Structure 1
């Protein structure tokens, strides 16, 4: 297969515990991580922003607490994660610094990607880090997430992160080079699938037939089932997904050189998928009425600034979906607001540079950023200006 990263602008790389941590010693595989960091540098040189979703905190921490060679209770796993996360953070910091990059640690729970206000906060932080040239290293917050509120595996976490930040490519590094019709280690007739265009029932059924050996045992919890569940999430957000072998050094460079993998193609681009999701938000909490100039600016793909708003109707909180109506009262768009109705009423009609003086804190320059705004006449289309500014920070 040709270079799967061609045209990629924002790439999420998921790394499992079995790849990152030596299971017998409980130590980080520094040489492998150093090679991966060189691969990250290669992608950055090609113009792509890179995020890493990393497992391994429990695996790296249990040795320090004398918790090896046995199953762990939930509270023991959380204690191991608290210790191991420091080890992982240092390892990533040193490996990425050797390539000239700043590492940034982010710990997430499901609510951070699924609840609107926390979703917006996490998204804004990650996009700001990317705009400043950092490499976010993301893991589940195992120290506080219980069994009832966990993603359960980092395949799905990686897919959630990819859709949250409008990534166009998600790579799940595994110990197998893609999806097969059956387990190739048990069935000589198993066929490798280089491309999956649709997640049909037949494709989903294959997951139960294909084990991912290193990730089924040891410290990891993933497998092909969770990878196909991640594919559902990623593809629904317009992000293509790749399953590739990560055991060997330089797994990303290998993909550039044509290494075998499975590519799950997305039916639409990330921005279009995000806007479709926003347009489908029900029960808008309020309405922002805009002037003619703002209505024209929105039609041209601009963000909604306070200066163009003439009235705030309804009560809403930051992150809630709100309608945007023109001077004639017709509904123009649906968006996720960056301000509550109380704060919005104070800044409507004012310049963005006045927000800090009016509210007493440095807020966003836009009431609704264009990435969080879906024009009703454009539902399902890709906004040109948003697409070309994929790498830009949220206002």
Structure 2
């Protein structure tokens, strides 16, 4: 079994456990509104069924969920969990319907990342969107040049020593709470060392894979092959030696987690660093081409890039907004909530090329919005270059 498959199975198990814990909290809550409590249980059941997959989801209904919370989780765990898994005997509610201590432990140990929950719980998507808007609101008050500088720094340097960041940010440092100490993040601690992703430069996740082997991978770029393993050696000095397990697993330099290193928070990484790296990659790919003018964040960041082709080319303009959401369903919901744009030039929503296989789903959801187009970052650049060569 490959590392990617193992991580997928682990994710399904963790997702199921998270849903069970959330359901147990809802089931034990007798003080809130009954309608809201029922809605929370239905949400949890939907998440749990998704973790089982289409073939086995039918066996998990509300009665099975409530029974499993009281008598043992075995019937609620996906088939990917091993037979005899001790978690199968864990009870989250006692016979009186009160929470067991195991709920907090499992919640801490198996809670999946926020962006994964975002695919299934509407409140999580709304919360994430609110956090994204709050982040942008903090920096939109800056003058245009400072705004562009902050956006580029968050994209180019999501982790560094505090002194380095202080020097790069200059007078802007300390005005925003974008960074957190890496030493407070045990999830990226690989035997006292942290390794930034070669694709986005943010700390990669490190977790045990069994028999003294640890898996190190980027949550966003795992499917692109950014994954490693290392074996912990007792008494060794220096950073662990990572062995690449995927095609994009280039050599990376680690840094000590006990050092004075800071990294942007996960929310900033998801909504500013990841799309920002796409934005600047598009800018760099199209800058310097005769006849093209590339402008970042025009009109107070109503969108990310405006690309204008002038004479001797036939006049043409593209407006681009980069999005790095994991769930295209949630992204479609957010885009459809936007008012219809009356501009003659449609807004091109650019998503990571690694998500191209799911692009038809997003395009189908947005089929009724002629003011919105959807493509990947690489396909967009290729399209503009073809147009410049007169090929389209």
What interval of TM-score do these two structures reach, taking the shorter chain for normalisation?
Answer: under 0.3
Q: Which protein has the larger Cα radius of gyration, Structure 1 or Structure 2?
A: 2
When normalised by structure 1's length, the TM-score is 0.24
Instruction: Report which structure shows greater RCO (CA 8 Å, sep ≥6).
Output: 1
When normalised by structure 2's length, the TM-score is 0.24
